[in-house]
Amino acid sequence: MKVTVNGREVETAPDPCRRLLDFLREDQGLAGTKEGCGKGECGACAVLLDGRLVNSCLVLLGQCEGASVETIEGVAGTALHPVQEAMLQLGAVQCGFCTPGLVMASVALLRENPSPTPAEVRRGIEGNLCRCTGYVKVEAAVLDAARRMREA
């Protein structure tokens, strides 16, 4: 089975019942994708699958044949993504456990809608639970990142 992970084609023995989350963390060494609840309720394991935001704890590896997966490591690349920069600068992160999922949800939102309203940002991140910092600063960071990206 072939799957592209962060722009790199990977060939793996098919185990169609294995979770994408486990494949990414254990086989690919991509520890940025976190397991929070394991039930698709917290968003900590969010990745982009063919450009669409998904909870990797709910996606089976067999569903990824020929697909492209982008993780927090892939979004960052060699420099921080504007969403990551804004979250750091505006204090929108604390423990960091939910941060990768929030970043992935925000990146997906901004790729689809480069000029979101505050309400659209809230809807875009609503599947991500944060127990430390809340969402006011995250919303501000996403709006700031959107502005930066439009001005670049």
Lowest mean pLDDT across 15-19, 85-89, 136-140? 15-19
pLDDT greater than 90 at residue 66: yes
Q: Any bridge partners for residue 9, and if so which? A: 4
Domain that holds residue 70: 2-75
pLDDT greater than 80 at residue 77: no
Domain boundary among 75, 94, 122: 75
- 7 and 38 in a single domain? The answer is yes
Q: What is the CATH number of the domain that holds 97?
A: 1.10.150.120
124: phi then psi, degrees, rounded to nearest 5: -65, -30
Instruction: Please state the domain count of the chain.
Output: 2
Q: What are 111's two structure tokens?
A: 């790729």
Q: What is the CATH number of the domain that holds 58?
A: 3.10.20.30
Q: Which whole number is the average pLDDT over 4-11?
A: 96
- 52 and 115 in a single domain? The answer is no
| pLDDT band at residue 123 using 50, 70 and 90 as cut-offs | very high
DSSP codes of every residue in the chain: -EEEETTEEEE----TTSBHHHIIIIIS--TTSPPSSSSSSS-TTEEEETTEEEETTS-BGGGGTT-EEE-HHHHHTTS--HHHHHHHHTT--SS-SSHHHHHHHHHHHHHH-SS--HHHHHHHTTT---SSS-SHHHHHHHHHHHHHHHH-
Q: Which residue has the higher pLDDT, 7 or 76?
A: 7
- 93 and 32 in a single domain? The answer is no
Edge-to-edge strand ranges of the sheet holding 2-5: 8-11, 2-5, 68-70, 46-49, 52-55
Query: What is the tens place of the pLDDT at every residue in 25-60?
Result: 999 999 999 999 999 999 999 999 999 999 999 999
Domain boundary among 18, 50, 75: 75
- 99 and 119 in a single domain? The answer is yes
- 62 and 115 in a single domain? The answer is no
The model's pTM: 0.95
| pLDDT band at residue 131 using 50, 70 and 90 as cut-offs | confident
- 98 and 130 in a single domain? The answer is yes
- 71 and 98 in a single domain? The answer is no
pLDDT greater than 90 at residue 139: yes
